[in-house]
Amino acid sequence: MALSMIESLFSQASYTSQEEIDRICQGVLENLYAPDKTNECMNQLRQLYFILQASHTEPCLPRNMISTLVNMVSSMDHDKTKECLLCEQILAELLPREQEDLGSDFYPSSNYQNATSSANCFPLYLMQGNKKFCLADVIPHAVRWMSSGKEDFNVQRQAFCFLVSLQVLHNRLVNEETMKTVNSTASDWLMNASLYQLPNPYTINPFKKDQAPVVNEVDGTPSRNFFTVLNIGQYYTNDQFLNIYSFSMLYKWLYHSQTSTEEALDVASKSAHVFKSLVDKSIDYCFRILDQCERKPKVSSDIDLQNCCLLEVVNILDMICKIEPGHVARVFQEVRRLYQRLMHELDKPRLLIPVLQFFLNHGKSVEHDPQEAYTLFFHKLLTQCYLDPAFSFDTITFIKDNLETLCHNTNVLSTYFPNILKMLAWNPRSYLADFEEILPALMSPNTAIEVFHMLLDLPCVTVALEITERCKKSEVQTLSTEAEPTSSLSAFQSALYRPMFNFFTRVEGGHGDTINRLSLFHNILGDMNQHPRVLVCSQVVPVLLRIWFDVVLDDASSDFLSHLIPVLLERTAFLYNIPGYQGDVRKVLAENVVHLLKKYPEILYDQASEIKDFLISPRNISGREEFFANLVWCVGELCSVRHDNRCTAETITRFFDTLEVLTYELSGMSSANLKEEISNPSKIICMLMSSISKLASKCQDLIPRSILLLTKVAKQQQTSFLDTEIKDAVVGRAQELINLLKLPNFANVVLNPDDEIETGRWHRDNTSLPITLRCVQHILS
Amino acid sequence: MVYAFVIHTLLPGPCRVLYHNVYGQDATYSDEVNDAEHKNRRRNHIQLIANEVHSEYQFRRAVQSRAVEDDIQRMGNDDTLPDFEFGCIRLPEGNPFTVERIALWLGAGNSGFTLVCEKSENRLLAENVLKILIRFIQEHVRVINQPSEARLKSDKIALILSRFLPNGNLLFMNHRVVRQLEKEVENLMKL
């Protein structure tokens, strides 16, 4: 009901005609100052705003309408606040546009400078942007109004907000002089707000005491120090509000100013001189906040505020130490004290992240070793809090921001990668892009294989986490040792399988793998394979696997890759059963086994026995045709003395033996049997025939055997029950190879072309085979 | 300063932006881009972010099997706010903005509330302020029960934003500051 109403409102608004809009504008202009038509006017303004937001092309508004809107905003009439604010919204929607449309009063000009009305337009200047350098022209006015002390609160506030926003959005526009002025004014506001409460502005009390009471601390005791955002009063004065604004915007101002001066000056000492006054005052303010955060608030919502303040303060102090490293020693002590406190109350895990960042940035200069803090964070806290979306987001942001340092200077990532990957397993939708970046850093020569296993089993990690969480709520402690469990839940309560759950939700890496019983475990978790979290998780795995292989193929040693082969052979069989998942993963494995062997063909020799064991059994084909076929291709193509001089005739013969046996076996199987196991047997047979011929052409003693084999296969296939089309293809292929092998020298050139064939030179060079053949053909015909 | 504040629908059907307020330009304005295109792009960015939140919310609902109706029903019974889903979405550099920004959202029932923050923003504070905004928007506009009201009473939302998120700035407001601003809003609302 409510939603269908929205749809109809939208379609109504987007089909409003220009006449209708003109009529509304006319109505607004007529009713705006008519005292008895306030409601009507408000409705027209609402309607106009609605149409503007819903329409795809901007409707044309009369020029006097726009200048009226500008006037409304700049006047910000108290009795018409709602109307004025709505006008501001409408204008914000219409900006940026040609300056002529906005009227001459829009920008402050040198001869007519009404600070109040210009200040109300500051938000609009930001929307209009630096068109024809108009923002740059406004800056001097803003600086003057903010710092002169002559303007009223609203003007100062607007000017300050404007300058900070400018720094955030267009930080090249604010120059050093401006920064200095803002710095000194803001530091004044930070330190010198009045300590007294504002009397209730809504009542007139004739018996009012001369002096209002001082503001309180959050725990109710009267404040004895300067005013901060954590002081409680009945009402606040304007200068106290300026104090609140200054602190609220301090970090953003420092952060964006610092990056801009860094670019401009390149010297820390110079930026220190620009920020001199502000830096000292900010430290005092931050230290006071740290003190105030140790008080216990009377109102619970102020506890949240204290936490926000702590986060902000650590960030500010971090920035200050970057600007002026001389303060590190003093600040470090305070941050460390905060860390000690947070360590004992672990209910504020997010606050530890900026503290960790601070240690990481400045620990070196005071010879502090952050290892203990890392362990606390990545071991204990992450284990407890990976479910919390805010915590996991902040943690991932922290890891990403410090990827280089964490990866090269610490072992945090390679130690705690199982814990870190849990965040992905739990939120596969949200963090894929982040983990594409993080994954390479989790891999070290020692952990890469374990990371590989964990990626392949990531959907199981998701299941394990999901089950663990469910069981946390229903607290079943005793483990049964009886019957074989039938579901994921009962497996979790079984003494036999609980260790598997613990393994998949482990905190640290380096505990090897549990390939035994893995397929049993996969089967038991089968009831969870349609859970949305698990499904999405299974979709991200192939993406990350590709990245894993890219890294490994780029950086890993041939030794490492050699050891990877048995793992690949093994894992193609053991994958969690989710529709589509096994196929996707096997495809990635199949592609990459080729890349891997092409890059280091000598691995074929090193791992010959593993590979032969794999290839000898037709059982290994089922479900893994592509991987199997690619491996067969690699053997035929890459097993050559050209790639590895250890590759003797004997090596080739052994591979040949394996393939020969397999081919006879496959070809001999009745086609019904074959189809049950292998979806596309003729492809495998063709691949085998090609590889056998390639091997034979490299070791000519084998040619008679292979001709015999090919002849037999052709005969057997002829009588098989395959489709005629496929049959013809297989038989034809066998015949071609036989003909080729009858001319051994040709066979060698055709079946084992030089690597240069890829460069294309062969098609141009006079001595190349195709050209020679063409010549011969030419002469003969 | 946050880049934008957005109210949009969540499930079911396509995501509709009910209200948005943008506080600045994405990148330094260049005269080459024409104004209409610029504004169009700005609107599309907002829609894109709302869609992201929408699909994230959909996923959360799916994994928890929590129904929208439960939220609405709870709202009907008394004035307590439902439990909100909370999330952050990273908007990487170049997509859709020229700098990295972060969309921080709270959602319940059919309504989502999103703050598009700079990376330098204090997200703990942003979450806090967003909760305050939702509290008052719900009080004055009853947006969670009737999302279309956000479309129709935009002036009221504008007023609430002008005090609790002045020019898009997140303020450290203790409970008395909130109270003082609340009174100011109440008085202006009556005018």
Cβ of residue A390 closer than 8 Å to a chain B Cβ: yes
Give the separation between CA A23 and CA A59, rounded to whole angstroms.
13
Give the separation between CA A112 and CA A114, rounded to whole angstroms.
6
Residues A281-322: tens digit of each pLDDT: 999 999 999 999 999 999 999 999 999 999 999 999 999 999
Confidence class for position A269, pLDDT limits 50, 70, 90? low
Question: Using an 8 Å Cβ cutoff, are B90 and B100 in contact?
Answer: yes
Mean pLDDT, residues A604-619: 91
Interface test with B, best of A168, A202, A387 (most B CBs within 10 A): A168
Residue A400 φ/ψ, nearest 5 degrees: -65, -40
Give the separation between CA A655 and CA A614, rounded to whole angstroms.
12
Mean pLDDT, residues A256-267: 67
Mean pLDDT, residues A223-242: 94
Amino acid at A191: M
**Cβ within 8 Å, pair A304-B128:** yes
**Cβ within 8 Å, pair B17-A129:** no
Residues A524-542: tens digit of each pLDDT: 999 999 999 999 999 999 9
Decide if pLDDT at A613 tops 90. Answer: yes
B13: chain A residues, CB-CB within 8 Å: 3, 7
Mean pLDDT, residues A713-738: 84
**Cβ within 8 Å, pair A389-B118:** no
What does the buried/exposed string (b/e) look like for A516-536 if buried means 16 or more CB atoms within 10 Å of the residue's CB?
eebeebbebbeebbebbbbbb
What lies within 8 Å, CB to CB, of A11 at 6+ separation is none
Give the separation between CA B28 and CA A324, rounded to whole angstroms.
29
Give the separation between CA A416 and CA A510, rounded to whole angstroms.
9
Give the chain B residue whose CA is nearest to the CA of A60: B36
Mapped onto helix, strand or coil, the DSSP state of residue B42 is helix
**Cβ within 8 Å, pair A126-B23:** yes
Question: Using an 8 Å Cβ cutoff, are A293 and A310 in contact?
Answer: yes
Mean pLDDT of chain A, nearest integer:
88
Confidence class for position A2, pLDDT limits 50, 70, 90? low
Give the separation between CA A309 and CA A244, rounded to whole angstroms.
12
Task: State how far the alpha carbon of A538 is from the alpha carbons of A440, A515, A627, B97, in Å.
Answer: 19, 19, 20, 30
- CA dihedral A613→A618→A620→A625, nearest 10 degrees, is 120
Confidence class for position A746, pLDDT limits 50, 70, 90? confident
Tokens 């919310």 locate to: B57
**Cβ within 8 Å, pair A129-B169:** no
Using only C-alpha atoms, what is the Rg of chain B? 17
Task: State how far the alpha carbon of A564 is from the alpha carbons of A268, A451, A452, A558, A575, in Å.
Answer: 49, 12, 10, 10, 17
Question: Using an 8 Å Cβ cutoff, are A729 and A686 in contact?
Answer: yes
Task: Report the largest interatomic distance among the alpha carbons of chain A, rounded to a whole angstrom.
Answer: 125
Q: Which residue has the higher pLDDT, A468 or B11?
A: A468
Question: Using an 8 Å Cβ cutoff, are A624 and A618 in contact?
Answer: no
Mean pLDDT, residues A22-46: 90
Side-by-side strand order, sheet with B17-22: B17-22, B4-9, B111-118, B101-108, B85-91
Per-residue confidence (pLDDT) for residue A54, from 0 to 100: 82
Amino acid at A641: V
B51: chain A residues, CB-CB within 8 Å: none
Neighbours of A723 (CB within 10 A): 10
Neighbours of A247 (CB within 10 A): 25
Domains of chain B are: 2-190 (3.30.450.60)
Cβ of residue A384 closer than 8 Å to a chain B Cβ: no
Angle between helices B35-64 and A428-442 (to 10 degrees): 90
Per-residue confidence (pLDDT) for residue B66, from 0 to 100: 67
Task: State how far the alpha carbon of A75 is from the alpha carbons of A111, A588, B164, in Å.
Answer: 19, 65, 21
**Cβ within 8 Å, pair A46-B153:** yes
A86: chain B residues, CB-CB within 8 Å: 154-155, 158
Closest CA to A381 of A413, A418, A343: A343
Q: Across the interface, which of A6, A94, A230 has its CB nearest the CB of B9?
A: A6
Task: State how far the alpha carbon of A381 is from the alpha carbons of A47, A391, A407, in Å.
Answer: 51, 10, 20
Per-residue confidence (pLDDT) for residue A354, from 0 to 100: 96
Mean pLDDT of chain B, nearest integer:
88
**Cβ within 8 Å, pair B120-A165:** no
DSSP letter assigned to residue A574:
-
Mapped onto helix, strand or coil, the DSSP state of residue B90 is strand
Mean pLDDT, residues B84-93: 94
Per-residue confidence (pLDDT) for residue A194, from 0 to 100: 92
DSSP codes joined into one string, A709-723: HHHHHHHHHHTS-S-
Tokens 């390939």 locate to: A515
Decide if pLDDT at A490 tops 60. Answer: yes
Question: Using an 8 Å Cβ cutoff, are A278 and A327 in contact?
Answer: no
Decide if pLDDT at A766 tops 90. Answer: no
Mapped onto helix, strand or coil, the DSSP state of residue B5 is strand
Task: State how far the alpha carbon of A528 is from the alpha carbons of A327, A469, A523, B166, in Å.
Answer: 55, 14, 10, 48
Confidence class for position B78, pLDDT limits 50, 70, 90? low
Mapped onto helix, strand or coil, the DSSP state of residue B4 is strand
Decide if pLDDT at A480 tops 80. Answer: no
Q: Which residue has the higher pLDDT, A438 or A14?
A: A438
Mean pLDDT, residues A671-678: 68
Decide if pLDDT at A486 tops 90. Answer: no
Closest CA to B56 of A95, A52, A430: A430
Residues B106-152: tens digit of each pLDDT: 998 889 999 999 999 999 999 999 999 999 999 999 888 888 888 88
Cβ of residue A101 closer than 8 Å to a chain B Cβ: no
Decide if pLDDT at B155 tops 60. Answer: yes
Q: Which residue has the higher pLDDT, A75 or A548?
A: A548
Q: Can you read off the two tokens belonging to residue A560? A: 């490492």
**Cβ within 8 Å, pair B154-A46:** yes
Per-residue confidence (pLDDT) for residue A671, from 0 to 100: 64
Residue B111 φ/ψ, nearest 5 degrees: -120, 135
Mean pLDDT, residues A167-174: 83
Per-residue confidence (pLDDT) for residue A265, from 0 to 100: 53
Neighbours of A713 (CB within 10 A): 25
Give the separation between CA A142 and CA A158, rounded to whole angstroms.
8
Q: Where are the beta strands (DSSP E) in A19-88?
A: none
How long is chain B? 191
Alpha carbon of A188: minimum distance to chain B alpha carbons (Å): 18
B4-9 and B101-108 as β-strands: parallel, antiparallel, unpaired? unpaired
**Cβ within 8 Å, pair B13-A3:** yes
Q: Which residue has the higher pLDDT, A401 or A622?
A: A401
Closest CA to A232 of A248, A242, A218: A218
Interface test with A, best of B174, B176, B188 (most A CBs within 10 A): B174
Mapped onto helix, strand or coil, the DSSP state of residue A297 is coil
How high is the ipTM of this complex? 0.95
Indicate the range of A57-61, A503-507, A631-635, A697-701 predicted with least confidence. A57-61
Confidence class for position A762, pLDDT limits 50, 70, 90? low
Confidence class for position A761, pLDDT limits 50, 70, 90? low
DSSP codes joined into one string, A322-367: HH-GGGHHHHHHHHHHHHHHHHH-TT-HHHHHHHHHHHHHHGGGGT
B81: chain A residues, CB-CB within 8 Å: none
